[in-house]
């Protein structure tokens, strides 16, 4: 009788240690949800696993997953959707690391890149050529801005503001009223909305201030650029403006390249100033430790000079 009880207890313990990959992924997500400050990235974690991993390994115990099964999830899309496949691999690896620490599996992680997956699949840079965002030549920018200012609408003003500040789409459409310092002509983007997870101060030109002062606002709506439904604009709102202008040959993000090309070819500003204007991480950790400032006043002069390429405001 005691032996039977012991066997039953052993089986119960083993069953308690069994968890499917899908359940482990959800548990991992719940444990780490707060680390994703970007709502889009938070949503992508489980959505990519649902699309590419769960159909193959979702119902399997994490203890049974090997490298062959991981490859089944990502190998087919490695050449066509390399960035997505790479992220799926990293997310599988993270879930399996979590499962190991929790005691649900043992041994090496079958999804690790170095010395394992890297021996089978080519590196991302070799698997798929980088596709750059289509950008407007900087010599065409004044005419484009003149045409843009002839058009009305919140999304149109958001696009103009985005170009004037060399901002990313998410930074611009997520802009809130309390981030603007009109006295200092500055837009302070908090770290939780920045790609580099670091606060970014943006100098504002007179035209950028003019847009902010005249754009329609809604009571109790924190967003500067309001959407058709209560809240902010969608990610595609500014792209839709380009489409209505019959400019599907360029992208919103491409205007950052336009700014970068103009600064490199038409100004003498140091590269680090231009890169900081684009909110790129500059230099290594040692260099960053010695240069704690953000070169704000130099960036203000750079952004003011960029106004020379644009037509004067007609408002």
pLDDT on residue 302? 87
Highest mean pLDDT among 5-9, 185-189, 281-285: 185-189
Q: How many CB atoms lie within 10 A of CB 285?
A: 7
Q: What are phi and psi of 188, to 5 degrees?
A: -105, 110
Q: State CA 249 to chain mean position distance.
A: 22
Residue 15: its pLDDT value, please? 52
Q: How confident is the model at residue 109 (pLDDT cuts 50, 70, 90)?
A: very high
Q: Which residue has the higher pLDDT, 123 or 60?
A: 60
Q: In this structure, are residues 179 and 188 in contact, taking their beta carbons and an 8 Å threshold?
A: yes
CA distances from 138 to 159, 167, 249, 257, 258 (A): 16, 16, 15, 9, 5
Q: Is 171 helix (H, G, I), strand (E, B) or coil?
A: helix
What string of DSSP letters covers 278-294? TT---S-HHHHHH--S-
Task: Pick 169 or 124 by higher pLDDT.
Answer: 169
Separation of CA 12 from chain center: 44
Give the chain as a 3 state SS string. CHHHHHHHHHHHHHHHCCCEHHHHHHHHHHHHHHHCCCHHHHHHHHHHHHHHCHHHHCCCEHHHCCHHHHHHHHHHHCCCCHHHHHHHHHHHHHHHHHHHHCCCCCCCCCCCCCCCHHHCCCCHHHHCCCCCCCCCCHHHHHHHHHHHHCCCCHHHHHHHHHHHHCCCHHHHHCCEHHHEECCCCEEEECHHHCCCCCCEEEECCHHHHHHHHHCCCCCCCCECCECCCCCECCCCHHHHHHHHCCCCCCCCCHHHHHHHHHHHHHCCCCHHHHHHHCCCCCCCHHHHHHCCCCCHHHHHHHHHHHHHHCCCCCC
What pLDDT was estimated at residue 282? Answer: 62
Give 282 or 95, the one with higher predicted confidence.
Answer: 95
Could you tell me which residue, 129 or 88, shows the higher pLDDT?
88
Assess contact for 133 and 251: CB atoms under 8 A: yes
Domains of the chain: 2-127 (1.10.150.130), 138-309 (1.10.443)
- Rounded distance, CA 158 to CA 215, Å? 9
Give me the pLDDT at residue 271, please: 85
- Two structure tokens written together for 112: 């690790």
Average pLDDT over residues 257-286: 80
198-230 pLDDT, tens digit per residue, is 888 999 999 999 999 999 988 888 999 998 776
Q: Are 42 and 36 spatial neighbours (Cβ–Cβ below 8 Å)?
A: yes
Which of 188, 210, 212, 192 lies closest to 200 in space, CA to CA?
Answer: 188
What's the pLDDT score for residue 39? 67
Confidence category of residue 314, pLDDT binned at 50, 70, 90: very low
What gap in Å lies between CA 105 and CA 277, rounded to an integer? Answer: 46
Q: What is the pLDDT of residue 73?
A: 95
Which of the four pLDDT bands, split at 50, 70 and 90, describes residue 135? confident
The sheet carrying 200-203 orders its strands as 180-181, 186-189, 200-203
- Strand partners for 186: 181, 203
What is the structure's pLDDT at 1? 53
Q: With contact defined as beta carbons under 8 Å apart, do 284 and 302 qualify?
A: no
pLDDT of residue 315: 40
What is the share, in percent, of the chain residues with pLDDT greater than 90? 48
């Amino acid at each position: 009788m005691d032996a039977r009880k012991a066997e039953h207890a052993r089986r119960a313990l083993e069953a308690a240690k069994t968890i499917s990959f899908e359940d482990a992924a959800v548990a991992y997500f719940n444990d780490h949800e707060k680390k994703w400050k970007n709502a889009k990235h938070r949503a992508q974690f489980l959505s990519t696993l649902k699309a590419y991993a769960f159909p193959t390994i979702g119902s399997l115990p994490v203890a049974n997953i090997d490298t062959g099964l991981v490859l089944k999830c990502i190998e087919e899309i490695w050449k066509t959707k390399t960035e997505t496949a790479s992220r799926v691999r990293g997310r599988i690896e993270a879930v399996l690391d979590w499962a190991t620490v929790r005691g649900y599996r043992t041994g090496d992680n079958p999804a690790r890149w170095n010395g394992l997956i890297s021996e089978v699949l080519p590196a991302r840079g070799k698997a798929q050529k980088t596709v750059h965002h289509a950008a407007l030549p900087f010599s065409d920018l004044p005419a484009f801005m003149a045409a843009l200012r002839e058009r009305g609408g919140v999304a149109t003003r958001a696009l103009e503001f985005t170009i004037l500040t060399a901002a990313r789409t998410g930074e611009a459409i997520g802009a809130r009223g309390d981030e603007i310092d009109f006295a200092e002509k500055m837009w302070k983007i908090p770290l939780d909305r920045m790609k580099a997870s670091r606060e970014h101060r943006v100098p504002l030109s007179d035209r950028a201030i003019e847009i902010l002062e005249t754009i329609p606002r809604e009571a109790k709506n924190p967003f500067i650029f309001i959407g058709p439904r209560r809240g902010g604009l969608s990610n595609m709102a500014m792209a839709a403006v380009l489409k209505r202008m019959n400019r599907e040959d360029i992208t919103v993000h491409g205007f950052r390249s336009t700014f970068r090309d103009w600064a490199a070819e038409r100004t003498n500003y140091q590269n680090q100033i231009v890169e900081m204007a684009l909110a790129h991480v500059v230099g290594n950790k040692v260099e960053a430790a010695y240069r704690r400032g953000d070169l704000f006043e130099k960036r203000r002069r750079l952004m003011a000079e960029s106004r020379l390429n644009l037509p004067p405001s007609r408002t």
